[in-house]
Chains A and B, each alone.
Chain A
Amino acid sequence: MSDPVLELEHLQMHFGALHVTRDVSIEVRPGEVHALIGPNGAGKTTLISQISGQLQPHSGSVILAGENITQLSVAERARRGLSRVFQISNVIQSYSALANVVLAIIGTEDGVWWRWRPALSDTSLADRAMNALAQVGLADKAQSIASDLSYGERRALELAITLAQNPRLLLLDEPMAGVGREESGALTKLLASLKGRVSMLLIEHDMNAVFALADRLTVLIGGAVALTGPPAEIKASPLVRQAYLGEEIQAATGGAA
């Protein structure tokens, strides 16, 4: 098997006396969708923030495609192919969908300091941006101002933003949060269509989405890894059932269990 895209090695983090990340080691393999689940307060978002660089672990390392990026800034990590979709929708509201994606593409290339031609008249940028928008089904909304888009469309736009950067790894922090039932199904389908092409680390409370998408899951309880394995193994684990999944698993597996 090829080398993992992302390796977390013995990450530790405290907020004061609160031990929020306890010796976490996780691997994300190329092309896999790795879901991170756990009850509220298990430290999922804190962990994602340590991967993307908003937070610094107190010890341990974050390794992206063989390179230790633990000490790098958010921007440096992003330029190395780590793209984050935030828990709360996070786009430039006053920009058009197209401009949002163009902005993301500019972030991946050199020349922001010295290219003097108007960015939005640059057809090569625009073509690439349209390509990313088309992948998420937003091609006909390219000129819409982001604040005019529906919440689900804005989540899709965020996905286009990250896709346009040709990420090595997508960090998805509750992409379904706040999205309606109908749009959530569409978003799941969209993510499924990207499966195999992009490696993803997914945090999600919507168990239907998680079990539809994930190749492997890691269960985080009290800041520590309780279990890692394929969906069937996770569903079968009595420990996980007891600690966290319970009712939700039954719902996701059709209530028959």
Chain B
Amino acid sequence: MNDMNRAAVVNPALKQDLLTGFAVIGALFAALATAQIAGAPYLTSLIGRIAITSIAALSLSFLIGQAGLVSFGHAAPIGIGAYVALMLAAGGTTDLSIQLSAAFILAALIALITGPIALKTRGVTFIMLTLAFAQMFFYVASSLVSWGGDDGMALAQRSTLFGYQILRTDAMLAAFSIALLAVILLANTWMAHTRFGLVLKAMTENERRVAANGFEVNHFLLYAFVIAAGVAAVSGVLLANQANYVSPAYLNWHRSGELIVIVVLGGVGRLPGAVLASALVILFEEFLGHYTEYWKLGLGLTIVAIVLLRGRDLGAFFGVRNQGARP
């Protein structure tokens, strides 16, 4: 009987989720290599943007899909990360090990303050509170006159890593971003299957049961909220480097909304789906945006078509499994 139990408990779901993750990362690297060989710098920068947006989308997908928290203020930690990069670079601190840690820690600390307040509520009220907090940071950024105020400011110089100018070209920036995305994607996929992931996912369905099992629900949700903010700030540092520019626009609520669209399009909780959806939205913006300023109409129609077609979302369309502990 014991042997049977053991065999039954082996978890092929994790293996499959990891493989899908590897495949998505591999595809991004392949696209980057192709762009380099074909000598298409424009595509290279596009791929960099896709990877950076994917990191932000992943952190939100984790928050919505695995913790059940719909944050409408996810642009805030991204913007905070970007401003950390801007300010540190202006002071001459360009090393990524410092910039990324500082961005992660600052955004996490802020989430540690706003989180417990927002987590007193759920549902629509939670959405509105996260939006309100993000708007506060938007106005704080707009009022930083010495950092460009409304207009923002150019980055003094791109970040470095241990003295190397690792982000010198767009291709290097894209490669670094994809590598970071890979680490975050795989860590997140793994996390979904740990004890922590199992508890977190169960909370999205039935908080009362989980509390009766002996878990403090809000501690877990706050932890997820804080981690998601930290990861979003990491994407902010890269975003500042990618654009060579930082402005309050990064904290605009449109950005938060766009991220939610990406997460929904990719399939809530489907981590590789978030990457695919980031790619789709950015490609739409670029290519359709060339022809018409109404490109969002095209994007909207596509979302509707995909949702109707598959009844679900883009991740399902491409056969990406819903992640997390559903043994």
Answer whether residue B34 sits at the interface, using C-beta atoms and an 8 A cutoff: no
Closest CB in chain A relative to B234 CB, distance in Å? 20
When distances are taken between beta carbons in the complex, the residues of chain A under 8 Å from B194 are 115-119
Binds B, one of A38-46, A106-114, A221-229, A232-240: A106-114
Are A90 and B206 interface neighbours, CB within 8 A? Answer: yes
Answer whether residue B155 sits at the interface, using C-beta atoms and an 8 A cutoff: no
When distances are taken between beta carbons in the complex, the residues of chain B under 8 Å from A103 are 198-199, 202, 210, 213
When distances are taken between beta carbons in the complex, the residues of chain B under 8 Å from A94 are 205, 326
Interface size of B by CB at 8 A reads 34
Count how many pairs of residues, one from A and one from B, have CB atoms less than 8 Å apart in the complex.
121
Are A120 and B202 interface neighbours, CB within 8 A? Answer: no
Binds A, one of B8-16, B76-84, B118-126: B8-16
Are B327 and A99 interface neighbours, CB within 8 A? Answer: yes
Closest A residue to B187 using CB positions: A116
Chain A residues touching B, range: 35 or more
Are B9 and A120 interface neighbours, CB within 8 A? Answer: yes
Are A120 and B198 interface neighbours, CB within 8 A? Answer: yes
Answer whether residue B271 sits at the interface, using C-beta atoms and an 8 A cutoff: no
Per DSSP, chain B at the interface is helix
Answer whether residue A79 sits at the interface, using C-beta atoms and an 8 A cutoff: yes
Closest B residue to A134 using CB positions: B1
Are B212 and A74 interface neighbours, CB within 8 A? Answer: yes
Closest B residue to A106 using CB positions: B195
26 A-B residue pairs with CB within 8 Å: A73-B211, A76-B214, A78-B211, A78-B212, A90-B212, A92-B206, A92-B210, A95-B325, A98-B9, A99-B198, A103-B198, A106-B199, A106-B213, A107-B199, A107-B215, A111-B195, A113-B223, A116-B190, A119-B194, A119-B195, A121-B9, A123-B6, A123-B9, A127-B2, A127-B5, A143-B327
Chain B residues with a Cβ under 8 A of chain A: 1-2, 5-6, 8-11, 14, 190, 193-199, 202, 205-206, 208-217, 223, 325-327
